[in-house]
């Protein structure tokens, strides 16, 4: 496992967690997650009247003794939970110290590892498209089983971030391409002038339970550079000269707080979990405290 992603101590702690899904899994593939489907399992669900051709092994003979009627025992089928991690790999994610993209990959690795330990299927979907990394990205699209964790980590560690991203289009495509809805985790700085509303809405419309991890660099949250500056948009190349004095810091803070608050309120109004994290946030703080308190996992 690449040392730049997750420590062995953190991995041991993550192994004890299990992803929680408010919506039961609907996948057609067998797993260890309860679903609304009826099948063979140790979890009793209900009875129904026996009809000719039913498997007599599932007859409830105790009920027959009391009511003199044949009933079949039904069990909750165990299905896997499709976990879709939508990872912002645009140029803006290369900013910061620590770099936002490095932090996002660690979070993706951690969530993926918890899902794999629970025998859920994991798909990591980086955006925007990068033709040079097409084989690598294809290998991240469907991973299952704890033994696949090392390959997941290696592939994540080789990903690069570059180019402009259309956040709404990427999230819509991520929703449409999914074979089945499940749990969607969006890791992004959400710094797209076109917004995020239609993209997140597409995931909800597809039936996903959505968790949003909003990642910003320390200098984006609390700038330390002052004076006459030339700002360059890392994705479009656009430039703007500004004079940033200390007296403008309060106004900048208010702008950032409002931006984060709007995204927080948008998520809350639609039943999505929202987490704001600086790229300097310790993984233990985000993974073992914030996500646990929000019951993303237990």
Q: What is the DSSP letter of 286?
A: I
The span from the CA of 62 to the CA of 163, in Å, is 66
The span from the CA of 49 to the CA of 43, in Å, is 19
Which domains, from first to last, does the chain contain? 8-23+92-293 (3.40.50), 30-79 (no CATH)
SS3 of 109, please? helix
pLDDT of residue 78: 58
pLDDT of residue 37: 40
Assess contact for 221 and 189: CB atoms under 8 A: no
Assess contact for 218 and 97: CB atoms under 8 A: yes
pLDDT tens per residue across all 298 residues of the chain = 344 699 999 999 999 888 876 544 444 444 444 444 444 455 566 777 888 877 888 888 988 888 888 988 776 555 678 999 999 999 999 999 999 999 999 999 999 999 999 889 999 999 999 999 999 999 999 998 888 999 999 999 999 999 999 999 999 999 999 989 999 999 999 999 999 999 999 999 999 999 999 999 999 998 877 666 666 666 676 777 766 667 778 888 899 999 999 999 999 999 999 999 999 999 999 999 999 999 898 7
Strands (E), 54-148: 71-79, 82-88, 121-127, 143-144
The span from the CA of 195 to the CA of 203, in Å, is 15
Strands (E), 107-258: 121-127, 143-144, 183-188, 209-216, 227-232, 239-244
Assess contact for 117 and 146: CB atoms under 8 A: yes
């Amino acid at each position: 496992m690449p040392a730049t992603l997750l420590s062995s101590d953190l991995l041991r702690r993550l192994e004890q967690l299990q992803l929680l899904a408010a919506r039961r899994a609907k996948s057609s593939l067998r797993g260890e997650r309860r679903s609304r489907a009826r099948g063979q399992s140790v979890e009793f669900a209900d009875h129904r009247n026996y009809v000719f051709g039913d498997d007599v092994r599932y007859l409830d003979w105790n009920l027959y003794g009391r009511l003199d009627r044949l009933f079949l025992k039904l069990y909750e089928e165990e299905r896997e939970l499709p976990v879709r991690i939508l990872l912002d790999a645009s140029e803006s994610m290369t900013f910061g110290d620590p770099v936002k993209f490095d932090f996002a990959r660690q979070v993706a690795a951690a969530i993926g590892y918890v899902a794999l330990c629970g025998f859920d299927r994991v798909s990591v979907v980086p955006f925007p498209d990068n033709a040079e990394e097409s084989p690598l990205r294809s290998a991240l699209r469907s991973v299952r089983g704890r033994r696949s964790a090392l390959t997941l980590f290696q592939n994540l560690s080789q990903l690069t971030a570059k180019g402009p991203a259309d956040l709404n289009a990427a999230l819509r495509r991520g929703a449409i391409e999914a074979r089945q809805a499940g749990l969607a985790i969006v890791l992004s700085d959400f710094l797209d002038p076109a917004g995020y509303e239609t993209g997140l809405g597409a995931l909800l419309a597809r039936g996903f339970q959505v968790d949003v991890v909003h990642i910003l660099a320390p200098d984006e949250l609390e700038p330390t550079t002052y004076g006459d500056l030339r700002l360059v948009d890392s994705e479009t190349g656009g430039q703007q000269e500004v004079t940033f004095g200390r007296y403008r810091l309060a106004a900048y803070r208010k702008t950032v707080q409002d931006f984060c608050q709007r995204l927080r309120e948008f998520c809350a109004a639609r039943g999505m979990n929202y987490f704001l994290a600086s790229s300097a946030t310790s993984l233990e703080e985000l993974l073992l405290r914030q996500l646990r308190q929000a019951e993303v996992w237990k």
